A and B are shown apart, each in its own frame.
Chain A
């Protein structure tokens, strides 16, 4: 398969057109401080926004606002017939950023790509052990087993050999943890024993150069004058770190920032009514759900899980917690915007009578107690866990099930849920790359049931076969059919109460142009400017 860089050329043309917009600084109210700038050491979206979406780039890129992949630092690529060898032709003339702490002597080449992957892959690599907690994303995506080798063919060609065919691989190469670093800069730091600076003084090929970072206050960037796509519309980009979402909205209203990420669902109407503001919304790649622990007594019986689903008034839950039009009712494990979504499946309709009958059939005694874990504090996938848990508790009480709610701090909940101490747990998943495999393998595969990441501890042979096969083939129609099959098994077995697919919102001033909200919750300001 050969993909020419036509789409990249269109992107460049669009960018040059947008570049004429203005040189006013763009201030974005973000919700937290980045943990650092060496993104491969971290997993959070806010750190990715501050490093991978500004300073660094990857071989493949997502078109802003979509999950479509386009050439990035690689101009084109070939995939072998067996799906095991990927050969990337690198773009020539791409320069690393020049700052007061680093002046590159050469352009980006195959050495940089090999360095960026070997660092995470090879335990003997001089930089490998320098990350204290390892490379969490790389490891959680199973890359150390997937990639057999990364080789330099010539200065502008790199070859990846995989241990098995992996359909989502190209999309994975657009994700933050596969960012390309300057090997020359890394060598300099290693020689001068300043390796810690790799995380605080980053160098990449991206559109913005970091100029100042003050924790919990601001991250400042200036436009990269040597950027290979040409100059970006905003000469200065500032992330104003504003922890509280009420304050973010007030700052936006006072024009102290021009973009405010993730307003509260309650504030959407208020923003829409303000003549100076506008709102961008999108169906996200997120699912919020309650996992039912299928390894526990009674809950291992599919009839009991079906009964729990029938007894829960999901529509009222969505209306109360998200509000009308701010989330779509959940059916299957992943949202309808991805391939293979089973449009024939329906969410179980609220039917307490039928639920009671099923519970009786399954021999569940009246007053049976199940524990329900929920975290304290809200998240996008679950705006108010306490209220959500109480709604589920009151609905299940009507069919004779007692729910013991345990609200706990996030870290504690993760640990206990991974140990399988729960009967049910409120959870959520945000997709990383727009591929269904990214939802199904980590959350519902048999491997994940063993390591606890699959909170339902559900391992089903037919489901497992379908998702494994779909991961290995690239033909879209065939993959879609397999995923449809997997969803039908899921909907029959109901290891989750699939609650909702929340929508994403970003509020901004009317004079902001060129911002594309992304379904993957990454925020990229390469094409954004203030009029």
Chain B
């Protein structure tokens, strides 16, 4: 097991450098620089432009800028946003909890419903329920998030008035940020009713963001489950008279979960990508919008380090999934 983990860690180092190099190069390949974008349609005085570029350290040759960047990273310095002059770490940590809260809610929604629907569809293969789940999940997978979000808002928020339109909480509550997780912060505050209000605000965005992962997980669980149910050990379990529930959940689902677990890991990347759109529709103050804006403004430190932090996170989650996978399926550990 140790050498398995060591091999995986060894792979992380070149991946990390690859990401730094890629983000550093890509953002600089786009024409325009931070000073020009800030001036917009206005005049850029060449002298003032040169001074500003010097202050930002962008007048140095590219390799020197990259060495500076890596040097600072090594000291744990992620730099400051060129636009807001706030440290990238502060901005990231103030916005990331919102994205994480939303993603976790979406994942729980997708995971619970997806597994349940997938298992039932597999057990009732060929039934109306099975066809229904598969049809709906195909539609869910192909759903344009923007359109889906707006439809839900118009129906549930505006017509029925059941859910709020957007935001993390009713702005009449003034909740001081402690952890950045609104559900926790509302519990820490003295405002009665704030927690339920925050939960209420989470419903629609979590459904919208969770729709695609839900579809993937449901389909994956169904096909994986169907395969497992055909295995000899399931037949043996049935033959020795175990209860149907025990056969399905202990012998069947446990083994069917192995590929589903991988999909879960991969969905973290999808959730973060989908978060950009969901955050825009629901005015959810997360990292998606933050990065898009930074690219538009050529805010180099935010783009480089924001993407690096997210990439590290996705790598970390997949690393944990790999390890879990190793535990769940010992054969993986011994493969070279």
Q: How many residues of B contact A (CB 8 A)?
A: 61
The reply to whether A36 and B283 contact each other, CB–CB distance below 8 Å, is no
Instruction: Return the CB mask of B287-308 against A: 1 if under 8 Å, else 0.
Output: 0011001001110000000000
Residues of chain B within 8 A of A139, CB atoms compared: 45, 48
A140/B31 contact (C-beta < 8 A), A251-B166, A409-B296 known: no
B38 touches A43 (CB 8 A): yes
Residues of B within 8 A of A415 (CB): 31-32, 36
CA distance A241 to B171 in the complex (A): 11
- Given the known A-B contacts A133-B56, A412-B32, are A216 and B285 also in contact in the complex, defined by CB atoms under 8 Å? yes
Q: What residues of chain B lie closer than 8 Å to A247, measured between beta carbons?
A: 150, 153, 165-166, 281-283
B316 proximal to A (CB < 8 A): no
Given contacts A36-B85, A240-B171, A250-B153, whether A414 and B38 have CB atoms under 8 Å apart is no
1/0 per residue, CB under 8 A from A, across B19-50: the answer is 00000000000111011111111111110100
A453 at the binding interface (Cβ < 8 Å): yes
Shortest Cβ gap from A528 to chain B (Å): 16
Closest chain A residue to B177, Cβ basis:
A214
In Å, the complex CA distance between A414 and B31 comes to 9
Q: Are B31 and A416 in contact (CB under 8 A)?
A: yes
Q: Contact: A216 with B82, CB < 8 Å?
A: no
- Contact A251/B165 with A35-B84, A241-B283, A415-B32 known, Cβ cut-off 8 Å: yes
Stretch at the interface among B115-123, B129-137, B154-162, B207-215: B154-162
Tell me if A212 counts as interface (CB < 8 A to partner B).
Answer: yes
Is A17 engaged at the interface, CB distance under 8 Å to the other chain? no
User: B167 — which chain A residues lie within 8 A by C-beta?
Assistant: 217-218, 240, 242, 256
Q: Which of A204-245 contact B (CB under 8 A)?
A: 211-212, 214-218, 220, 238, 240-244
**Residue B55 interfacial (CB < 8 Å):** yes
- For residue A175, give the distance in angstroms from its CB to the closest CB of chain B: 13
Contact partners of A58 in chain B: CB under 8 A: none
Is the CB of B86 closer than 8 A to any CB of chain A? yes
Q: Are B283 and A215 in contact (CB under 8 A)?
A: no
Cross-chain contact B280 with A414 (CB below 8 angstroms): no
Q: Is residue B101 within 8 Å, beta carbon to beta carbon, of the partner chain? A: no
CA distance A242 to B281 in the complex (A): 8
Q: Are B36 and A411 in contact (CB under 8 A)?
A: yes
Evaluate contact between B296 and A411: CB separation under 8 angstroms.
Answer: yes
B164 contacts chain A at the CB level, 8 A cutoff: yes
Residues of B within 8 A of A136 (CB): 38-39, 42
Contacts of A43 in B (CB 8 A): 38-40, 42
With the chains together, A247 CA to B296 CA distance in Å? 22
B31 touches A250 (CB 8 A): no
A412 and B153 form a contact (CB under 8 A): no
Bound-state CA distance A112–B165 (Å) is 44
A199 and B85: CB pair below 8 A? yes
In the complex, what residues of B have CB within 8 A of residue A33's CB?
Answer: 293
Query: Does any Cβ of A come within 8 Å of B168's Cβ?
Result: yes
Most buried by A among B35, B39, B82, B168: B39
Contact of A414 among B40, B83, B85, B95 (CB under 8 A): B40
Q: Is B94 an interface residue (CB 8 A)?
A: yes
B77: CB under 8 A from chain A? no
A253-B281 contact, Cβ under 8 Å, with A25-B172, A139-B45, A411-B296: no
Which residues of the other chain, A, contact B286 by a CB distance below 8 angstroms?
216
Given contacts A132-B52, A256-B166, contact A212 B280 (CB under 8 A): no
A132 to B176, CA, bound (A): 30
Is the Cβ of A246 less than 8 Å from the Cβ of B95?
Answer: no
Convert B66-85 into 0s and 1s, putting 1 for each residue whose CB lies closer than 8 angstroms to a CB of A: 00000000000000001111
What CA separation (Å) do A415 and B32 show in the bound complex? 6
> B51 an interface residue at 8 Å Cβ cutoff?
yes
Question: Any chain A CB within 8 A of the CB of B227?
Answer: no
Closest to B176 in A: A212
Task: Provide the residues of chain B in CB contact with A251, threshold 8 Å.
Answer: 165-166
In the complex, how many angstroms separate the beta carbon of A47 from the nearest chain B beta carbon?
10
Q: Does A451 contact B (CB under 8 A)?
A: yes
Using A251-B165, A254-B161, A256-B165 as known contacts, say yes or no to A140 and B285 having CB atoms under 8 A apart: no
Residues of A within 8 A of B284 (CB): 216
Q: Once the chains bind, are A254 and B157 in contact (CB under 8 Å)? A: yes
User: Which chain A positions have C-beta within 8 A of B176?
Assistant: 212
Q: Which of B36, B51, B83, B286 has the most CB of A within 10 A?
A: B83
Interface status of B174 (Cβ within 8 A of chain A): yes
A200 within 8 A of B: yes
Query: Which residue of chain B is the closest to A142 with respect to CB atoms?
Result: B43
Give CA–CA (A489, B170) in the complex, Å. Answer: 56
Q: Are B52 and A243 in contact, with the CB atoms below 8 A?
A: no
- Which of B41, B161, B297 lies in contact with A429, CB distance below 8 A? B41
Chain B contacts for A242, CB-based, 8 A: 166-167, 283
A411 to chain B: closest CB distance in Å?
A: 4
Q: How far is the CB of B17 from chain A (nearest CB, A)?
A: 28
B42/A418 in contact, CB under 8 A: no
8 A-B pairs within 8 Å (CB atoms) are namely A133-B38, A139-B45, A216-B95, A216-B284, A216-B289, A411-B32, A442-B43, A453-B44
Question: B: which residues have CB within 8 A of A?
Answer: 30-32, 34-46, 48, 51-52, 55-56, 82-86, 91, 94-95, 98, 150, 153-154, 157-158, 161, 164-168, 170-172, 174, 176-177, 279-286, 289-290, 293, 296-298
Residues of A at under 8 Å CB distance from B? 25, 27, 33, 35-36, 42-43, 129, 132-134, 136-137, 139-140, 196, 199-200, 211-212, 214-218, 220, 238, 240-244, 246-247, 250-251, 253-254, 256, 409-412, 414-416, 418, 427-429, 442, 448, 451, 453
Closest 10 CB pairs of A and B: A411-B32, A216-B285, A217-B285, A140-B42, A412-B31, A242-B283, A415-B32, A411-B37, A453-B43, A133-B52
